[in-house]
Structure 1
Amino acid sequence: MTHASDSNLQDLLSARYDDAPEVQVADAPIELLHSMISRGSCRAFQDKPVPQGILNLLCAAAMASPTKSDLQQRDIILLQSPVLRAELASLVSGQSWVADAPMIAVFCGNNRRQRLLHDWHNVPFANDHIDAFFNAVGDAAIALGAFVTAAEAVGLGCCPISAVRNEARALSEFLNLPKHVFPFAGLAIGYPKEPAKIAKRLPLSATCHVDRYREDGLQEAVETYDTARREAQPYSTQRLAEKFGHKDDYGWSDDKVRQYSQQERADFGAYIRAQGFKLD
């Protein structure tokens, strides 16, 4: 078996996309691109702590990422306490691997600091509507992506944990999150036990557009992708088989449809409103 680290950039792109572009970046920082293209979620970690110095550096790299209007509306909470990591893991049902992560970070959107600035300067906050929440979400997402890129570039493995939003109220309580601060995602961090496996993505022709959004041939592209992904990495189990039955040609689109046939986080909007945001 060829590991991702043994492959060149063109091979990695071809493993990820059926319509991979040709590599024409001889002078680009190939090592970073290699890390980004070969990445995969890590859910099995070595029993080895991540040095605090590296975590500090990764936080610095994440906070150097773009932020809307320089507002810097994102925070990272590193759960150094094994008790808190265990408590978070207990909130994430069906993902037992979270408890084995040597480090867990929680990325938060933070619109509170902006409002405090207005209080300190005695100037009214005039943007108390959905964009205040949306901007903080964007900032938190950008920081999470930058942290993952930096972490994997130095040999760590990561896996985002969106399920922390399943219990957003409980998480807010034990993290002591005040009004206008909310959890966006958790992140499991550690040294991987084995090289990451590349997950095929939708063809770039379906997700990257020129000049205007298009859906020409989208259904056919998804069907072709289902077949290619099923051959490259078949699902070991079929989601909600007791409801939908077993399907011989079960693919990515089946899995995603079944996942979102069940209601998730229906109370998250109420939680966000309780945190002080107006979503209109």
Structure 2
Amino acid sequence: MTPSPYANLQDLITARYSDASEVTVTDASCDLPHAMLSRGSCRTFLDRPVSQDVLNVLCAAALASPTKSDLQQRDIILLQSAKLRGKLAKLVSSQTWVADAPMIAVFCGNNRRQRLLHAWHDVPFANDHLDAFFNAVGDAAIALGAFVTAAEAVGLGCCPISAVRNEAHAVSELLNLPKHVFPFAGLAIGYPKEPAKIAKRLPLSVTCHVDQYSEDGLQDAVETYDTARRKIQPYTTQRLSDAFGLKNDYGWSDDKVRQYSQQERADFGAYIRAQCFKLD
């Protein structure tokens, strides 16, 4: 693979953020932040399997991550079966690259174990409301992020697959998920064919706050971000061009507005309720 063009932490932060401050910390304690700032979604993989030993370590690292009140309400399902991976890829057919991933993991929120503990101890479960679902979502999200960080640290590439929630019922059936367990996201895993591309992010001034939330200057900052990102990462296609037409200055905010001008996963709440969660 071609080496990354970003030699140091300053280069990486500047590539990500238009308002990056000067970095003065350069010692080995920044090795992990350097790796994290270098990351990017990987959708093209070498034809090389990921060993079970490596996957075992990554799962252990991911599940060592923080968890709400030590409840440990997350699970990882590794799709070792090529047949299962193929079936899952068909369920997210809008993302054809998924079928080429050497490994796919599905991260699940799991509130079932907690309820089983209550049954085994013959103690009523007194928190059958939205927070039970929300805590499991948080645990699954934290584990996913930790897995990605660990995987990329050992040279793997990853890309989350939120589209598993587009067909949540079918994914649950495919993976034999019981009530109170639900798919949070898939993750494609493999050895990348090429270095990750750095995706420019919104300025830190509008996403990293001090003492209290603020939207001062937000619209101007987004417009400036659109312009800067368009210069280095122009969209190759424009979403929903039949409905919205083509724009010469199509940018990130246009793309996100167009994406959410159409309903996505409108039935997910019904699925979660069918998994016996109460969302009040």
TM-score range, shorter chain: over 0.9
In structure 2, what is the Cα distance between the partners aligned to 1:240 and 1:26? 44
Aligned counterpart, 1:12: 12
Shift of 1:33: 1.2
Q: Secondary structure at the match of 1:56?
A: helix
Deviations 1:172-200 (A, max 9, x none): 00100000000000000000000000000
CA positional deviation for 1:3? 4.6
Normalising by structure 2, what TM-score?
0.98
What's 1:86 paired with? 86
SS of aligned partner of 1:50: coil
Q: CA deviation at 1:34?
A: 1.2
Q: What CA deviation, in whole Å up to 9, does each residue of 1:217-258 have, x standing for no partner?
A: 000000000000000100000000010000000000000000
For the residues of structure 1 that align with 2:243 and 2:79, how far apart are their CA atoms? 38
SS at match of 2:167: helix
Deviates more, 1:19-28 or 1:133-142: 19-28
Give the match for residue 115 of structure 1.
115
- How far off is 1:90 after superposition? 0.1
**Equivalent pair of 1:103/1:190 in contact (CA under 8 Å):** yes
Aligned equivalents of 2:219 and 2:85: distance in 1? 42
Code of the residue aligned with 1:151 in structure 2: it is A
- In the alignment, the residues of structure 2 paired with residue 144 and residue 222 of structure 1 have an alpha-carbon distance, to the nearest angstrom, of 28
Deviations 1:64-100 (A, max 9, x none): 1000000000000000000000000000021100000
Aligned residues: 279
Check conservation: 1:4, 1:12, Cα contact below 8 A: no
Deviating above 6 A after TM superposition, structure 1's stretches of 4 or more consecutive aligned residues are none
Name the amino acid aligned to 1:222. Answer: V
Query: Cα–Cα, structure 1 residues 6 and 200, in superposed 2: closer, same or farther, change >3 Å?
Result: closer
How far residue 28 of structure 1 moved from its aligned partner, in angstroms, is 4.9
Offset at 1:26?
A: 3.3
Distance 2:33 2:5 in 1: 12
RMSD: 1.0
**Shift in Å, 1:117:** 0.3
Question: What does residue 43 of structure 1 align with?
Answer: 43
Q: How far apart in 1 are the matches of 2:265 and 2:93?
A: 13
1:272 and 2:248 matched: no
Q: CA deviation at 1:32?
A: 1.2
Other-structure match for 2:170? 170
Matched, 1:211 2:211: yes
- Pairing 1:229-248 to 2, within 5 Å after superposition: 229-248=229-248
CA contact (8 A) 1:5 1:38 kept: no
Distance in 2 (CA, whole Å) between partners of 1:4 and 1:118 is 51
Tell me the equivalent position of 1:222. 222
Alignment partners' CA distance in 2, 1:232 and 1:216:
26
Provide the C-alpha distance between the structure 2 equivalents of 1:208 and 1:184, rounded to a whole number of angstroms: 26
Letter in 1 for 2:45: F
Query: In the alignment, is the contact (CA less than 8 A) between 1:101 and 1:190 conserved in 2?
Result: yes
User: Percent of aligned pairs with the same residue?
Assistant: 82
Give yes or no for contact 2:36–2:149 (8 Å, CA) kept in 1. yes
Q: Aligned letter for 1:59? A: C
CA–CA distance in structure 1, aligned partners of residues 3 and 240 of structure 2? 32
Aligned mates of 1:155, 1:7 — CA distance in 2: 17
Distance 1:20 1:37 in 2: 12
Contact conserved, 1:108 with 1:140, CA < 8 A, in 2?
Answer: yes
**Alpha-carbon offset, residue 12 of structure 1:** 0.6
What residue in structure 2 maps to residue 179 of structure 1?
Answer: 179
Call closer, same or farther: CA 1:256–1:16 in 2, change over 3 Å: same
